[in-house]
Chains A and B, each alone.
Chain A
Amino acid sequence: METVLKATNIVKYFKEPEAFQVLKHVSFEVKKGEFLSVVGKSGSGKSTLLYVLSTLDTDFTGSLEIRGEKLNGWSQNALAAFRNEHLGFVFQFHYLLPEFTALKNVMLPALKLGRYSEEEVEERAMNKLRMMDMQDFALKLSSKLSGGQQQRVAVARALINDPDIIMGDEPTGNLDKTNSQIIFDIFNRLAKENHQTIITVTHDTDFASASDRIIEMQDGQILAK
């Protein structure tokens, strides 16, 4: 299997409130179609690492390669376009646009990409919502949904452009066992059937141990397995 993501010697400091090294020479590779879980104690740098991998955080040293492209030094605009097309992201605090319906939230990244017509995008978005069992809430304002429902919509949004890599920062953090299982099954299927790569930070040990591979972080370093 080919490598879809390659991080080499990632080092990141926070300067505020005092100089503090969050990531200490982190290096690893992820293969296409792999379902990877990142675990570790709170404060070990999992979220920080994920933001670096997602190209949102560019303030680090070391090299990041996704789909064989070295992304260091890319402009913010180029990175945004890259994220739009190739990366899906589920944030720790779900973050939907509150003024828009669930459906519209899912549609927006696809409308931005412009690969499909608006009608097709809507249909695809409905399909993704159906996958998450959220079709009945499609036309509800996202601010009117519960935390768990918002998280499921956020997952649907992450899937809308059929990205190569889906990253999640505790995507099941707000969900009960059943719904966590649903998300796990979906991720697993995306990895196995579509060869999409999944990288999730999780506290859920069942979730992690059922995935293909686990990376454990401690004090900004990957623990050797």
Chain B
Amino acid sequence: MAKMREVEPVVEIGEMTAAVSRERVQKLSRDRRRVIGFNSLSLLLFLLLWEGSSRLLHSVFFPGPLVVSRTFVVLLVEGDIQGYTLPYHAYVSLYRVLLGFGAACLTAIPLGIILGLWRPVYFGTRVVSEPLRFIPPLAWIPMAILFFSGLGRYVFLIWVGVFFPLFILTMNGVSTASPTFVDVARVLGASRSFIALRIIIPNALPQIVGAMRAVMSPAWMCIVAAEMVAAELVGLGQLINNYATLLRMDIVIVGMISIGILGLLLNEALMAVERALFRYRQEVKV
């Protein structure tokens, strides 16, 4: 993080700023090249270790990357026994995850904001919310099976897994607003609603988007678990489950890797949103 030097008189700072930012841009692209280099290297190393240990073990239950990539191509082009291709499995799971995640955002974020502004309500309802929060999403599966079917079941299970962490993180972001910002606005005669809408919420937004990113991994955990117990044929969880019973570990691994890659892509997308929205936050970096 390049620190700007103090230079007076003020007029000179304009040129300073330009020079510093040009320098910073150059440094950034250098850093980026280095990051890409290191990541390619660690990927290569990982694949080599995997291939090596698979050959050492010499077990059909632990195929190496070469076998797995062949299976990957087959699944991509021809599909599984039922004829569903890998992109279709991935699309179905992704669709379910995004619906559940969207439902959680639409409920947890507004509630987190309201209770963050109005802490007594939260403290007065903790006896209900805290025990609920500690029930693992998987424990909700029997309920979900009884009361929901089809898409609704998946959405419900993801919602259950994502709602509480997102709600708590949002509420904390809102209730830790800088007291000086609030004082600045109060002295200038701001109303409570102005302070809430124009000071506290914008101040908490980076934390809220960060929280959305953080709950992506519980969302995937829920969808895979939910798909494993469902009777349907599509979805990455279903793919893994079906072929696990057939001991086709190469397909299982393809399913696992697909989830990892989708998670990575979603995370990168949300990070791009963060960077675009919160340019002012110097901390938001790769």
A in complex with B: no
Residues of A within 8 A of B (CB): none
